[in-house]
Structure 1
Amino acid sequence: MRKPFRTFDWNVRNCGWRGHVTWAPTEAALAERLRVETVVGEAWRCLRCGSFIPGEPHGRGPAEDAPIVLRGRALRDAFILRLLAVERGIRGVLLVALAYGIYRFEGAQNSLQRLFDDYLPRLSPVAEHAGVDLQATGPVRLIQKALETDPHTLTLISLGVLAYGALELLEAVGLWLMKRWGEYVAVVGTAVFIPVEIYELLERVTWLRVVAFALNVFAVVYILWTKRLFGFRGGRAAFETERHSESLLEVERAAA
């Protein structure tokens, strides 16, 4: 079986999008390992993909001052986190729009009730000829329930939906910027609603609910595992050590 992504190089892909990152360290032994002479002059090794790039380095100074460059598995993790951030952002925008719709519905509830009471009797005979009982259909029952809801309850619902949407947008920003606080917010905010999703699945199974549940469980487990949150797998110290061990600069400095 062919595996098209088996030889996929995340480092080269990222350098192709953002450009190479080269650095000339002041440590002579390390600089010697990162620099070569070519027919067109000196070339410095890219800290991300490892290729030697002709020309002046992008920066000079001690190795400790070199930019932190994600590479390998860290790049893959960043790509997945940003996909999750996009999903959270879309969900947050839709929830905020829904909260606004509920707020506007509350203000026009009486007008919509009169409109519903006026048109439903007119449409019912037509539907009965087609063998459809409008009063028993799902959409009509849902509209009736919404119109009968107390305005104060609608206000609380709109505030709750707005708060949930704001939480989703906060998760999206934190995950996109790859901030550790964003990862904590994403894990806690997602895990809190998993019991609710389980209850909804027990009540009725739909493909949309199954996909949402699977995505949220994946997000919680993946972020916990890869980012070592809450002291998991050694916590932040182990996470930073892992990132440094994968740094090309650290590898070359150890070899030097």
Structure 2
Amino acid sequence: MKDKQARRAAMERRWELRSCGRHGHLTYAPDESGLASRLRADSAQGEAWRCLRCGDYALGPATASGPADDAPVPLRGKALRDAFIIRLLAIERLLRGVFLIAAAYVVWRFVGAKDSVQRVFDKDLPAVRDLSRRTGIDFADAAPTRLLQRALDAGHSTLVLLAAGVLAYGLLEILEAYGLWIMKRWGEYVAVVGTAVFLPLEIYELTEKVSALKIVAFLINLAAVAWLIWSKHLFGVRGGRAAFEKERESTSLLEVERTAAQV
């Protein structure tokens, strides 16, 4: 048990050190003298302050100062690892949103070009049917031909609504990506609701035709919804927002030192 906890602590420390390596140490000099003395040290090179993220001492004056209650609360340990996962989700949502917006543009362009496409279809289809008779291959009933025919059969208003719906979905994905990337709680709610709404549609598509890509996409979305709700205490789960804030504050180095100073 102790070995497992030590490995977990070592892993979490690597995340913290990696973050400090990219962004620099985050030091803070609280106005409370007793607390400040626990974070400050003197060395042959001068004063040093403990980093609120990784806990190591960094030479030089603190990067910020003020009341302890105003000190920043950097992500540490599990929260820092979770932030990496959330930003991976944000990138995936961004790519999906860009793809959907591009798809909406293609549908919109198709609406304007529908008449010309219909003329080409009407002109060439008889030749395709003649070729089918000669070769014995039914090109007219091929999947791409049937898909194009269904699109041509759709009314103008239907295609416009389709383009608008795909565009709205793409913009929702972009909003999810932005909210997740900046680590806002509303972004997590938008991601959960926006993803969960389409899970029944994904299940229906799987009943129509199963493919490895559909299964993987469904499992990723299902896991993302469950993980966000559980780990971020959304919708009141596991104590809700209050429990989430308490969990985050419990990892704060400043809070740990303040508690130790009061003992």
Report the residue type matching 1:62 in the other structure: P
Alignment correspondent of 1:163: 168
Instruction: Name the % identity.
Output: 59
Equivalent positions of 1:107-146 (< 5 A) are 107-123=112-128, 132-146=137-151
Cα drift, residue 126 of structure 1: 5.6
CA distance in 2, matches of 1:222, 1:129: 58
- Which amino acid counterpart does residue 59 of structure 1 have in structure 2? A
Tell me the amino acid that sits aligned with residue 68 of structure 2: A
Task: Spell out, residue by residue over 1:18-60, the C-alpha distance to the aligned partner (whole angstroms, 9 max, x if none).
Answer: 1110011121221111111111011111110111101111011
Match of residue 208 from structure 1: 213
Distance 1:24 1:141, change over 3 A: same
Q: Per-residue deviation at 1:218? A: 1.0
Matched with 2:258 is 253
**Who is 1:84 aligned against?**
89
- Structure 1 counterpart of 2:191: 186
Asked if the contact 2:51/2:58 (under 8 Å) is kept, the reply is yes
Q: Which AA in structure 2 matches 1:61?
A: G
Q: CA deviation at 1:125?
A: 5.5
Match of 1:101 among 106, 120, 123: 106
2:96 partner SS: helix
Give the aligned partner of residue 73 of structure 1. 78
Using the TM superposition, give the Cα deviation of residue 132 of structure 1 relative to its aligned residue in structure 2, in angstroms. Answer: 3.6
The equivalent residue for 1:36 is: 41
TM-fit CA distance, 1:96? 1.1
Letter of the structure 1 residue corresponding to residue 251 of structure 2: E
What are the Cα deviations for residues 164-217 of structure 1, in whole angstroms up to 9, with x where unaligned? 111111111111111111111111111111111111111111111111101110
- Is 2:208 the counterpart of 1:198? no
Alpha-carbon deviation of 1:252?
Answer: 1.2
Deviation at 1:128, TM superposition (A): 6.6
| Post-superposition CA distance 1:116-164 (Å, at most 9, x none) | 2223444556677766421121111111111111111111111111111
| 1:17 partnered with 2:16 | no
Q: Contact 2:30–2:68 at 8 Å: present in 1 too?
A: yes
Secondary structure at 2:198's aligned position in 1? Answer: helix
Task: Tell me the TM-score normalized by structure 2.
Answer: 0.91
Question: Which stretches in structure 1 are left out of the alignment for 5+ residues?
Answer: none
* Maintained 8 Å contact 2:128/2:140: no
Partners of 1:126 and 1:82 lie apart in 2 by 53
Q: How many residues align?
A: 252
- Match 1:154 to one of 147, 153, 159: 159
Q: Could you tell me how far apart the structure 1 residues matched to 2:226 and 2:106 are?
A: 34
Q: Corresponding residue for 2:3? A: none
Partner Cα separation in structure 1 for residue 134 and residue 17 of structure 2: 65
User: Is the CA contact 2:55–2:253 (under 8 Å) kept in the aligned structure 1?
Assistant: yes
Q: Which of 179, 204, 208 is 1:174 aligned to?
A: 179
Cα offset, 1:113, TM superposition = 1.0
Query: 2:77 & 2:113 partners in 1: Cα distance?
Result: 55
The two structures have a TM-score, normalised by structure 1, of 0.93
Instruction: Mark the runs of 5 or more structure 2 residues left unpaired by the alignment.
Output: 1-6
